[in-house]
Every structure is written in structure tokens, then in C-alpha cells.
Structure 1
Amino acid sequence: MNIRAHDVVPISEARARLTELAEEVVGAGAEKVLTKNGASFVALVDARKLDYYHALEAEHAALVLLDEAETGLRQVLSGERISAAALMETLGQADE
């Protein structure tokens, strides 16, 4: 979603219009960026959309872990890395 100029609101103005801005966020699906001293400070986002963003973030993290696991498995299968069991066996023999 693109942020339009009227979706950027100084925080001083937002104090007086908080209910109105919240209704725009929930009703119209708009997101508001509140500024402080002319710079982005915080955003108003529908709580359901925030939950969705968090779910996407968790899904992305899971996909990154799966990708890393796949890379590791490929390395083990190609002989670039040794398995944990082989490592433990090698370390066990080194102690003797």
C-alpha cells in the first residue's frame, strides 16, 4: 500500500485527531505515518493488519530456516560437510 501525503500527519496534530485517524485506519484501510520534527516517528495500522504482518514475518523466518536446512543437507550429501554423528564419532576417537 502506498502512503499518500494526507496519510502523513504531524504527531502534534494526531493528538487532537486520534479518534478520527483511527477510524480512517480501520474503516478505509489507510495507514498513517505520524511525524515528529518532520521525520517519520510511528505508524497507525489496523490491528488485524499488524497481526497479518507478524504472521508473514514468522512465515518468512520459517522459510529462511528451511532454506538453511536444505543448504546444510546438500552440503552433507555432497561431502562438503560431515554429519553430526560422524563429527561426534571423530571427536570421541580424538579423546582416546
Structure 2
Amino acid sequence: MTFTSQDIVPISEARARLTELSDEVVAGSEKLLTKNGAAYVAIVDAKKLDYYHALESEYAHMMLLNDAETGLREIISGQRLSNEALMNALS
């Protein structure tokens, strides 16, 4: 999502307009609050935040599955030892 100039708000101004900004966020916009002219925090709808967290979790699971698949392929191709073979080699 791109921010318009109306979506970028100094944090000092946001204090006075919090209810108004919150209503705009619930209506679909996101607000980027700045501190000393630099991006500081964002205000997003709680439902969207839940969605972002679900995406982050899904991405982490996909990366774990990808790593497991890579490991299995390496074992099958002989590039890596299986756990059993490793334990036998260490015995």
C-alpha cells in the first residue's frame, strides 16, 4: 500500500487527532506517524494486523518446510548423512 501525504502524520499532531485517525484507519487507510521527520510507527486496523501476523507465521512455516525438503533431497542424493548414518559413524 502506498501512503499519501494525508497518511503521513507527525506524532505530535496524531496525539490531538487520534480518534479521527483511528476512524480513518478502520475505514481502510493506514497512517504512518513520524517523529523528528522520520517514520516512527504505523497505525493499522486490528484485523489487518492479525492478517499480517498470520502471513508472517505462514511464511515461517513455509521456510521450515523448504528447509526440510532441501535436507531430504540432500540425504537422498547422498550429499548429507541421515541421522541414523551419522549416529553409526560416530559410534
* Residue in structure 1 matched with residue 11 of structure 2 by the alignment: 11
Q: CA deviation at 1:80?
A: 0.4
Q: Is residue 34 of structure 1 aligned with residue 33 of structure 2?
A: yes
* Residue in structure 2 matched with residue 2 of structure 1 by the alignment: 2
Query: How many residues align structurally?
Result: 91
Which consecutive residues of structure 2, in runs of 5 or more, have no partner in the other structure?
Answer: none
1:7-50 CA distance string (max 9 Å, x none): 000001000000000000002x1000000000000000000000
* Residue in structure 2 matched with residue 44 of structure 1 by the alignment: 43
**Identical-residue share of aligned pairs (%):** 65
Give the structure with the higher percent helix: 1
- Structure 1 stretches of at least 4 aligned residues deviating more than 4 Å after TM superposition: none
Counterpart of 2:32, as a letter, is: V
Which consecutive residues of structure 1, in runs of 5 or more, have no partner in the other structure?
Answer: none
TM normalised by structure 1 equals 0.93
Q: CA deviation at 1:66?
A: 0.6
Aligned-CA RMSD value: 0.6
Counterpart of 1:13, as a letter, is: E
TM normalised by structure 2 equals 0.98
Q: What's the secondary structure of 1:89's corresponding residue?
A: helix
